[in-house]
């Protein structure tokens, strides 16, 4: 199946590493012009270089997604170049250090909710506004987690934030469905990226044991799903939530 994103303009938050990096590269390979956005400038620029090396179009825009003003600037970037925003991948996220809910401090709680939920609310809000103003539709893909679909002891703030992202996606999608703006959520299971470092090696081994396919996911596998949802190949899909987890059901 050809995803053909030729002529489309995309933004990927948290695009410097992990799932965001692989998504940026894949969208660019399919022909999109990609804004790789992150707080990590050096790593983000390396992704841009990788894309340019195969003849793709990309630029790095620094944006800390915990700051609303920076998200407004980021989502304005294509408009300032007289281009539209077609695809917004809200991927940036962090995990909390494993802690039981009754021991989570207000500081940790606020940090996680701001980083993993409020930031996605802002990204979705401003991307949707651009897409509605341009009257040509668009696709927003929010990266949630299977942690947002069930209970994951020790990951309370993360679970709550990701459950919020799922609701943000499904509710937001229905509000704008008739204008051609599609919003979907992907829920990866444990995937081999730096975010798992909070779990340590023992934690990772336990995760692998709990995955029916017996291995962690690969960032490229999640990127494939995101690219499909970003593309017109999924044109009748909106308000949907997709697990990508090797069969994990805990
Ligand atoms: N890896 C997994 O097992 C897994 C599972 C489920 C969901 N997810 C979700 O996938 C998404 C990507 O995570 P990943 O696994 O690729 O992790 P990662 O740590 O490799 O990448 C996260 C990226 O987000 C960026 N980032 C962090 N804080 C930021 C900020 N304030 N502003 C902008 N960018 C910021 C980081 O610099 C990094 O490039 C996250 O939303 C995560 O919750 C990951």
For 6-25, what is each residue's pLDDT tens digit? 999 999 999 999 999 999 99
**What pLDDT is stored for residue 198 in this prediction?**
78
CB of 151 closer than 6 angstroms to any ligand 1 atom: no
Per-residue pLDDT, averaged over 159-179, amounts to 98
**Average of per-residue pLDDT values in the chain:** 96
Sign of the C-alpha dihedral computed for residues 31, 146, 169 and 123 taken in this order:
negative
Per-residue pLDDT, averaged over 187-192, amounts to 97
Backbone angles phi, psi at 34, to 5 degrees: -115, 130
**Local structure of 248: helix, strand or coil:** coil
Which candidate, 85, 56, 51, places its Cα nearest to that of 71?
Answer: 85
**What pLDDT is stored for residue 2 in this prediction?**
75
Ligand 1 atom closest to the CA of 143, numbered from 1: 41
pLDDT greater than 80 at residue 90: yes
Confidence band of 1 (pLDDT split at 50, 70, 90): low
Annotation marks residue 158 as catalytic: yes
- To the question of pTM greater than 0.85 for the whole model, the response is yes
CB of 234 closer than 6 angstroms to any ligand 1 atom: no
Confidence band of 50 (pLDDT split at 50, 70, 90): very high
CATH class of 9-244: alpha beta
**Local structure of 88: helix, strand or coil:** strand
For 195-232, what is each residue's pLDDT tens digit? 888 788 888 888 899 999 999 999 999 999 999 999 99
**Domain residues of the chain, as ranges?**
9-244
From the list 126, 158, 179, 242, the catalytic residue is 158
**What pLDDT is stored for residue 218 in this prediction?**
98
CB of 148 closer than 6 angstroms to any ligand 1 atom: no
pLDDT greater than 80 at residue 250: no
Per-residue pLDDT, averaged over 49-69, amounts to 98
The protein residue with its alpha carbon nearest to ligand 1, atom 31, reads: 64
CB of 191 closer than 6 angstroms to any ligand 1 atom: yes
End-to-end CA distance of the chain: 32
């Amino acid at each position: 199946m050809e995803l053909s994103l030729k002529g489309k303009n995309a933004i990927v938050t948290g695009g410097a590493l992990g799932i965001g990096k692989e998504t940026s590269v894949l969208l660019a390979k399919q022909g999109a012009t990609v804004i790789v956005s992150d707080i990590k400038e050096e790593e983000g620029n390396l992704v841009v270089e990788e894309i340019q090396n195969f003849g793709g179009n990309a630029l790095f825009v620094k944006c800390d997604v915990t700051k609303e003003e920076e998200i407004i600037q980021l989502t304005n970037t294509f408009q300032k170049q007289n281009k539209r925003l077609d695809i917004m991948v809200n991927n940036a996220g962090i995990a909390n250090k494993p802690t039981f809910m009754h021991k989570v401090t207000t500081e940790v709680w606020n940090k996680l909710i701001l980083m993993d939920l409020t930031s996605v609310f802002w990204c979705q809000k401003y991307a949707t506004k651009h897409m509605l103003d341009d009257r040509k539709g668009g696709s927003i893909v929010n990266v949630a987690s299977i942690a947002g679909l069930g209970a994951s002891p020790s990951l309370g703030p993360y679970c709550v934030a990701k459950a919020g992202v799922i609701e943000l996606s499904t509710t937001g999608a229905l509000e704008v469905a008739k204008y051609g703006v599609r919003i979907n959520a992907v829920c990866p299971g444990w995937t081999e990226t730096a975010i798992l470092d909070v779990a340590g090696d023992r934690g990772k081994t336990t995760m692998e044991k709990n995955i029916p396919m017996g291995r962690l996911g690969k960032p490229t596998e999640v990127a494939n799903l995101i690219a499909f949802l970003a593309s017109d190949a999924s044109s009748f899909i909106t308000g949907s939530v997709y697990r990508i987890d090797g069969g994990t059901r805990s």
